[in-house]
Structure 1
Amino acid sequence: MTPSESPASPTLQGEELAAHFRDIADTRMRGLPFLNPRLDVEAVGFAVQVAGEDASSGVLGILITPWFMNLMWLAPALSAPLAQGASREHFFGGQRLTFIGAVDEAFGAYQSCSLFSPMFEFADQAAARATAEQVLTLLRDPPKEEEPQQPALSRRALLFGRRPGAPE
């Protein structure tokens, strides 16, 4: 049974996704030169979240692997999955982020937004986890009512706390 078919908790859905990517790390990705050997696959902060303007509910979290760190959106089973390779914007914490659809035979459908790839700038798992937790904190803070909707942030601006229009 895939996570999109089960009523599993958000934490369990994140762990199922991480288990799937651990299998990928141990098979298809093993020995590739762009892997950071100091990192493992880990699900961070998977929780129910409402995605901005359309108020759709799903599970948001970050997946850390030795080759990427992605924001992951797991939509509920009742919603139509985003087609493989198609993109869709979601709003979190007042920020507009672009997600790419993926459909995996073993796991099911999910959407991802790349934060880092490759992962060589992280010295260890704790540093990667701390970054993931900071990103989630930023995205889960509700926007201030009086602020107008901000234009889309680049990943670099989001990760380094820069506002739209500020020099990079």
Structure 2
Amino acid sequence: MPNVISGFQTNPAPRLEAAFQAIAAASMRELPFFHPQMPIRACGFQLFEQQWIGCMLTPWMLSLMVLPGPQQQWAPCRVGEKLALALPCGNVNFTHGHIDDCGHYLACSLMSPLENSLGAEQAQALAENSVRMVLSLPVVDNSIPSNPGRRALFRLPRGN
């Protein structure tokens, strides 16, 4: 295990796509849940709090991923270790992983295996929208009671 895990100076999307292409060719194509029409795409990768975050779409899964950003150094972790991150959408549980030619990352499975009915365009839109949702602040409507009882549902807010 390395002493520190160094960050990506530039967007890791091209390296991720190449690494997952190699995985697909070497070991995934023959599996029954492999969707050959599904592209391998690193979607929506952007810097968030100095870390790269985005979704990885493959013919077998959709995962939210976090990789170290420019000038970042992560402490070494074992593959399979769990870590919860506080993101704008709330706490998200990740698993530490490693891919040859790409390095260390955190992943949260969003869909594995992929739904059979999911088309390539739909899957890419889902991946892009998932990144936006994860990085969006929750919307709170202050006019709705936080713990409404049956009767609270029929009361108008004061001042109306």
| TM-score category (smaller protein) | 0.7 to 0.9
Which residue, out of 106, 110, 114, partners 2:109? 114
RMSD, matched Cα: 2.2
Larger Cα Rg: Structure 1 or Structure 2? 2
- Distance apart, 1:143 and its partner CA: 4.4
More displaced 10-residue stretch of structure 1: 60-69 or 25-34: 25-34
- Distance apart, 1:144 and its partner CA: 6.1
Which residue is 2:13 aligned to? 14
Identity %: 27
Which residue is 1:37 aligned to? 36
Residue identity matched to 1:85:
G
- Distance apart, 1:134 and its partner CA: 1.5
- 2:105 paired with 1:129: no
Residue identity matched to 1:27:
A
The CA distance in 2 between the partners of 1:129 and 1:120, in whole Å, is: 13
Which residue, out of 95, 101, 110, partners 1:100? 95
Higher relative contact order (CA 8 A, sep 6+): 2
Q: Secondary structure at the match of 2:134?
A: helix
Q: Secondary structure at the match of 1:131?
A: helix
Gaps in structure 1 of 5+ consecutive residues: 51-56, 148-168
- Distance apart, 1:39 and its partner CA: 0.3
TM-score, L = length of structure 1: 0.72
**Cα 1:7/1:66, change in 2 over 3 Å:** closer
Which residue is 1:46 aligned to? 45
Q: Contact (CA 8 Å) 2:78, 2:96: kept in 1 or not?
A: yes
More displaced 10-residue stretch of structure 1: 21-30 or 103-112: 103-112
Gaps in structure 2 of 5+ consecutive residues: 143-160
Q: Secondary structure at the match of 1:28?
A: helix
- 2:22 paired with 1:23: yes
- 2:59 paired with 1:66: yes
The CA distance in 1 between the partners of 2:52 and 2:140, in whole Å, is: 24
